[in-house]
Amino acid sequence: MNWQAISFDWNQIRAFLATVEEGSFSGAARALNSTQPTIGRQITGLESALGLSLFERTVRGPILTDAGQDLVDHVRTMGEAASMIATVATGRSTDLSGEVSVTSSDLMASSILPAILLELQKSSPGIRVQIVASNDIRNLGQREADIAIRHVRPEQPDLIAKHIGDFRANFYAATSYFDHVGRPKLARDLGEHRFVGSSDFTRIITMLKERGVDTKPESFVTYTDSGSAMWEMVKAGIGIALLPEALGEVEPQVEKALPDFPSFSFPVWLVTHRELKTNRRIRLVFDALSRGLAQASSR
C-alpha cells in the first residue's frame, strides 16, 4: 500500500459521491446532513489533493469532468466497502440500546406497525426504531434500512428473508358510500361502482376481470401511490378499494363490498442483511416484527 499517495480524506470522498448521485451540492448536503458550503469546501479539498478538476461549476449545477467521470466507479466501490464495514461492525454489536431502522409500505407503517412497536417499546425501552415509510424497495446492502418488510422475496444472496405469512385483501368501502349509492348484490355489480386505487390501477382492473368483474379506467375516480391516503379516501366515502382484511374487518366505518367475494392473498417477507442477523438489537426487533406480523396476518 502506497500510503503517501493517499492525501485525501473520507469526508471528501463522501461529498464527491453524494454530489454525483444527488446531482447538486445542495442535494449532497441534504443527503449527508451537512451544508452546501461544507460540501463545496470538501470537494475543492479533494480536487486540490488529487490535482484534478472533478466538476465544472455551471448555472445548471455541477457537471462531471472527464477526470471526475474516470473516478466515479472507483469511488462507488469505496462507498460500498465503507457500507460493508459499517454493516459488519453493526452485526457484531451486542448492545441492546440504540437505533434500528425498519422500512415498510406507508399503509403498513401507519396501521399495522404501531401496535407491534408499542409492545417492543415496553419490553425494550432502550431501542429506538426509525420507520422508513416508503413504497419503494430500499437497498439493505447500502444500509438504507436494517430491516425491510416486503411483499416479494429478495433475490440478493447477501440478504436473508423469513416468510411471515400471507395477508388477505378484499374490496371495501365506507358504509356511508354504500348507503348513498347502494350495495352490490353480485360480483358483476362491482363494475358499476366508483373505485379508489393506486396509480397502477390497471393491475386492479386485471384482477377484477379474472374474477368476472369488468371495470373501466374511468371507474377509478381517485388514485394515489400512498396506501395511507387511499385508506382515508375510502373511509371518507369516495369509493371502493382493495385493502388488507386486517384493516377492513376491524374498522367500523367500512364494510366489505361483497361478503362472499373471494379474498386475494399476498405474501409478507421480513428481510435483513446476513451480517446484521448476529446483532442482538436488530435480531430483537426482527423477532418482535416476526411475531407481530404473523399475528396480524392470521386475523
Do 144 and 112 lie in a common domain? yes
* Residue 122: its H or E element: helix 113-123
183, amino acid identity: R
Do 255 and 271 lie in a common domain? no
The CA-based angle 278-279-285, given to 5 degrees, is 110
What's the CA gap between 236 and 228, in Å, rounded?
12
pLDDT at 1: 46
pLDDT at 2: 47
Range of the domain at 140: 98-163+267-297
Nearest to 8 by CA among 69, 54, 73: 54
pLDDT at 277: 65
* Number of domains the chain is built from: 3
Do 20 and 62 lie in a common domain? yes
pLDDT at 95: 55
Residue 257: CB atoms within 10 A of its CB come to 23
CB-based contact 17:80 (threshold 8 Å): no
Do 106 and 82 lie in a common domain? no
Do 63 and 76 lie in a common domain? yes
pTM: 0.64
Do 71 and 206 lie in a common domain? no
Do 177 and 241 lie in a common domain? yes
Do 145 and 287 lie in a common domain? yes
Domain termination site, one of 70, 92, 114: 92
Do 114 and 159 lie in a common domain? yes
Do 142 and 262 lie in a common domain? no
CATH code: domain of residue 125: 3.40.190.10
Do 229 and 86 lie in a common domain? no
Instruction: Give just the sign of the alpha carbon dihedral 99, 101, 106, 108.
Output: negative
Do 155 and 121 lie in a common domain? yes
CATH code: domain of residue 14: 1.10.10.10
**What does the pLDDT profile of the chain (299 residues) look like in tens digits?**
444 555 567 788 888 888 888 888 888 888 888 898 898 888 888 888 888 888 888 888 888 888 888 888 888 877 776 666 666 655 555 556 789 999 999 999 998 999 999 999 998 889 999 998 887 766 665 667 889 998 888 887 788 889 999 999 999 999 999 999 999 999 999 999 999 998 888 889 999 999 889 999 999 999 998 999 999 999 999 999 999 998 999 999 999 999 999 999 989 999 988 776 667 888 899 999 999 998 888 76
